[in-house]
Amino acid sequence: MVNTAVDAGLFDDQLVLQYDSDVLNGWWSKQRRRPARGWPSYLDFIYSWSKQNPYSVARQALENCGVDWRGKKGGDKRPLGCGDRIKCPLCADWYHTTMARWALHEVFEPLIEAAEDAGVKRESHGSQIVLTLPKVFSHEIDAIMKDDPLRGANLVNKLRSAGIRCIQKALAEQAGEIDSLGAVAVVHHWGSSRPWESHWHIHYIIAPYLVTHPKIGHDKYLTKLKDLYRWRESPRWLDDGIIEKLRASWKKAAQRIMKLRYEGDWNISVSYFRDGAQLCRNVHYNMRAPLRDLWQYTKGTASTGWYYQRPKGQALDLGLNAFSECVDRAIMVNRALKRVTWYGYLANASLKKSMASLGMVAKKVKDIETEVDKDEAQYWRPVSVTTLGVLFESRDGTESDFTPWNQLKPEPVARYLEKPIGVQRKRVWVRQE
């Protein structure tokens, strides 16, 4: 069956959105690195929601995304994205995916490779510690964010910094003195089981190495030589007693910062990565777009009703209020807070010195995977969809081009004179000559 833009009513906003979803849905289903798989139901939900909320920011983000495509005639084509990193399933998912790829390709993978070449042992590919806040604390942070976003952001930053101090103290108690702990912290304000409810917690991905700096001097007058690095492996697992001390220190620090008390259980999670594949999955999962769970697991139809269901999970009714609350919270947090923070020898100010101590230097490069020749590329709009591919027509209507599905690429590109949508690779690490 062939759907044409003319038959669909090209200039009707509702039908254009539905038509473009047909193109994107067929395209995404054939991609190995496809974004959120729940796109069709999510779009249908947007239709229903927009009838009651015609000024929906989520719907506005979708209306102008993926409508036009860029590429050479007979060559690959990529959609023009709107660039919204929160509300748009296409652009937000691509931005956060490239951020995770950057963390892997420019930080963790080069670090492990350089340390192995330098003869530094390791017990794992790193570890993950998740520090969770009770619900009453999560609701308090939401209330402060709404009333004073700057104060709310400062509060979360204090919690995030206190968390890394607690973790370093716990690791030092088991592994000995630590001068620098390499880690990345990712703040989540939602839970995957019920993303519309407030659930603040922080994921810390810990690098598999610890650093100490040699000391010189006599007696108590010691000076650390911070330009010299002594690398050693980080413990794969924490003893049960150390975990309980970590739980107690996190509870004490969070209660002091929030000026609240909670005597119930404080949940923390400790795990390690057996191999690079497990590290990769966790980095991508932790850095996913805030609304990705909603996009991926929204199911149902307008006639039968909408529900949210994760794999092997219970089907939960998804009302318009829950959806609106989820979107509004994501927008509020994005405006006030930076979700990803690097610490220790992996921080931006320290990474070059850290890698230099292992014999590596940075070399600037272009990201060839998303580089498009803007001078020769043309702009196209889809006019029909078939099982084999998509028929495009140039913007001025003078040319047409049939493009197979495998030539439609998943990387959205920015409009003319706008900043790139995804995180751009700027450097690679090479052995110092």
**pLDDT (0 to 100) of residue 139:** 95
Residue 235 half-sphere exposure toward CB, CA atoms < 13 A: 18
Neighbouring CB atoms inside 10 A of 136's CB total: 12
| Closest-CA residue to 326 (of 297, 296, 291) | 291
> To the nearest whole percent, how much of the chain has pLDDT over 70?
81
Q: Which H/E stretch holds residue 404?
A: strand 400-404
* Nearest-angstrom CA–CA distance, 312 and 55: 35
Most confident of 53-62, 144-153, 222-231: 144-153
Say which amino acid occupies 70. R
- Please say if the pLDDT value at position 119 is more than 50: yes
pLDDT higher at 90 or 359: 359
* Nearest-angstrom CA–CA distance, 165 and 256: 14
Residue 67 carries which DSSP code?
S
Give, in degrees to the nearest 5, the angle at Cα 384 between 378 and 388: 95
Which pTM does this prediction carry?
0.85
Say which amino acid occupies 133. L
**pLDDT (0 to 100) of residue 231:** 94
Q: What length is written for the chain?
A: 433
- Please say if the pLDDT value at position 419 is more than 80: no
* Nearest-angstrom CA–CA distance, 361 and 429: 5
* Nearest-angstrom CA–CA distance, 76 and 69: 10
Q: Quick check: 402 and 408 in contact, CB under 8 A? A: no
Q: Which of 181-185, 213-217, 291-295 has the lowest mean pLDDT?
A: 213-217
Token representation of residue 295:
């996009």
Domain locations in the chain as residue ranges: 3-82+371-410, 91-361
Which tens digit of pLDDT belongs to each residue from 169-213?
A: 999 999 999 999 999 999 999 999 999 999 999 999 999 999 998
Which tens digit of pLDDT belongs to each residue from 142-162?
A: 999 999 999 999 999 999 999
Beta strands in 25-100 (DSSP E): 69-71, 77-79
- The arithmetic mean of pLDDT across residues 251-270, rounded, is 93
Q: Quick check: 288 and 340 in contact, CB under 8 A? A: no
Q: Quick check: 364 and 427 in contact, CB under 8 A? A: yes
Q: Which of 80-94, 290-304, 415-429 has the lowest mean pLDDT?
A: 415-429
Q: Quick check: 231 and 122 in contact, CB under 8 A? A: no
- Please say if the pLDDT value at position 16 is more than 60: no
* Nearest-angstrom CA–CA distance, 338 and 51: 33
